[in-house]
């Protein structure tokens, strides 16, 4: 396991702040001699440091998928599988799959298919809770469309939540990408939407806990 580069500064700042708190905690203990309070505050500082570090963890995973497979782009829980009208790019009906990422999930995001990135756009917006029905269209978000070599296109979207306040992405238009390559990172709780062609074979269901680079979402038609 390694730490994502987006976490270096935040982890350092958290360490300095929590260290200062712990120094104050020590002096408080020498003044009050309340061992239980010292132990409680020390434990709280350790837990907070652990949570910050684990949020930016990147576990080592082997990504093995077939040519037409759609790989899960993020860790989390499947909260939506439905047919919707996609209004930003396709402007037609698509199958929407939404994955909610809690603060305890790995937050790196990966390309669900191989192909050429045809569309990249960042949208400023609100910070509704990530499971809100309008978060897909009203929240801060970034949208990507990748064209598979068979001509089919898949749209995927990073969506900020009530806690997530920064979307990071590295994908560029006309870039060739491979399934499982990292394209971005969302800091703290958030959501990923996939918009798939009608008729796509879906291998997951609502409520499933999924993992990036390991879970197969479905399969594109040849």
Question: Catalytic amino acids?
Answer: 190
Angle at 130 between CA 126 and CA 134, to 5 degrees: 60
Residues in the chain: 222
What whole-number distance in Å separates Cα of residue 177 and Cα of residue 115? 6
What SS3 state is found at 35? Answer: helix
Q: Which tokens hold the place of 127?
A: 């910070």
Q: Which residues contact 26 (CB under 8 A, 6 or more apart)?
A: 38
Q: Which residues contact 189 (CB under 8 A, 6 or more apart)?
A: 101, 102, 103, 130, 161, 162, 163, 164
64 backbone dihedrals φ, ψ, rounded to 5°: -130, 110
Q: Tokens 């003044």, residue?
A: 31
């Amino acid at each position: 396991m390694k730490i994502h580069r987006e976490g270096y500064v935040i982890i350092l700042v958290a360490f300095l702040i929590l260290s200062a708190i712990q120094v104050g905690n020590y002096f408080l203990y020498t003044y009050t001699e309340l061992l239980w309070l010292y132990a409680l505050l020390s434990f709280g500082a350790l837990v907070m440091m652990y949570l910050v570090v684990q949020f930016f963890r990147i576990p080592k995973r082997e990504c093995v998928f077939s040519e037409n497979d759609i790989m899960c782009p993020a860790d989390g829980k499947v909260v939506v599988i439905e047919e919707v009208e996609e209004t930003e790019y396709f402007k037609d009906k698509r199958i929407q799959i939404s994955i909610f990422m809690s603060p305890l999930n790995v937050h790196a995001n990966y390309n669900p298919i191989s192909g050429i990135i045809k569309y990249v756009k960042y949208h400023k917006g609100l910070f509704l809770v990530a499971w809100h029905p309008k978060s897909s269209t009203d929240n801060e978000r970034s949208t990507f469309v990748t064209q598979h070599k068979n001509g089919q296109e898949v749209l995927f979207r990073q969506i900020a939540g009530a806690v997530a306040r920064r979307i990071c992405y590295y994908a560029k238009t006309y870039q060739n990408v491979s399934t499982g390559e990292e394209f971005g990172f969302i800091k703290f709780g958030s959501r990923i939407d996939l918009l798939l062609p009608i008729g796509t074979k879906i291998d997951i269901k609502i409520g499933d806990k999924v993992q990036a680079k390991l879970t197969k979402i479905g399969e594109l038609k040849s």
